[in-house]
Structure 1
């Protein structure tokens, strides 16, 4: 269970990768991955390809990231989610708030 981030200044992208369960235990690490990035300066990609599970607190964390970037749906992409994770995202209508790739 971990959250890692990588900043590509050339492309203007911060990639946040989730490995394992995405739940409240990752709150601090997830927030630290984006809190020092000036809003509007970068785009974010949340890589869920290694996420085995997400709960309502994870959904809340994704909403906080969306709020951090000003609510612009083009600034946050969720990529690589498994069928189970994607199902949770769609049930919560996150496909209307984020780009799911």
Structure 2
């Protein structure tokens, strides 16, 4: 399953694949670049694996959206192992993690 994005009102939801790693860089960037939304939601429902490339992609997204004065990014449906990596990396200070 590829990375997909869908918009409802001012919320843009990006649904990730099973692996969130370097192979996803281009598809992930395309999912949020040049979109018009106020809230960006990254859905980890299907994601079983994330490496440091995934963390870097999230930070790049945060930087890109901050330049457009968009500060609400939610990371949702994180499996326990993914959530643990995000918390250890102190991403709860940059993103809303549920």
Runs (4 or more) in structure 1 with deviation over 2 Å come to 71-74
Structure 2, unaligned stretches of length 5 or more? none
| Superposition deviation, residue 97 in structure 1 | 1.1
* SS class of match (1:7): strand
RMSD: 1.8
Task: Give TM-score, length-normalised by structure 2.
Answer: 0.90
* SS class of match (2:4): strand
Separation in 2, partners of 1:79, 1:73: 18
Task: Give TM-score, length-normalised by structure 1.
Answer: 0.87
2:64 aligned partner? 68
1:56 aligned partner? 52
Structure 1, unaligned stretches of length 5 or more? none
1:84 aligned partner? 81
- Please say if residues 73 and 98 of structure 1, whose CA atoms lie closer than 8 Å, have aligned partners that are also in contact: no
